[in-house]
Amino acid sequence: MNWDIVKGNWKQFRGKVKTQWGKITDDNLDVIDGQRDVLSGKIQEAYGVSKDEADKQIKEFEDRNKDFRP
């Protein structure tokens, strides 16, 4: 998944992110704004997981959504 594309189409991805990580607030989504590293940090904060675990979850999310076309 190309995160430049995600950033450019963040409004479409917000719903997918919210569905995957329900503890992430709308305010967090505004801050994340399609940035993978910020998403990782917000997952760590919201779920109390390590950076490695957050990155693993994001990778799985990417794999499930690799064919997404906005």
- Are residues 46 and 23 in contact, defined by beta-carbon separation less than 8 angstroms? yes
Block residue for tokens 């940035």: 35
The per-residue pLDDT for 8 is 81
Total-model pTM: 0.87
What are the domain boundaries of the chain?
3-64
Instruction: Assign domain 3-64 to its CATH architecture.
Output: Orthogonal Bundle (1.10)
Q: What is the pLDDT along the chain (70 residues), one digit of tens a residue?
A: 777 778 888 888 899 999 999 999 999 999 999 999 999 999 999 999 999 999 999 999 989 888 766 5
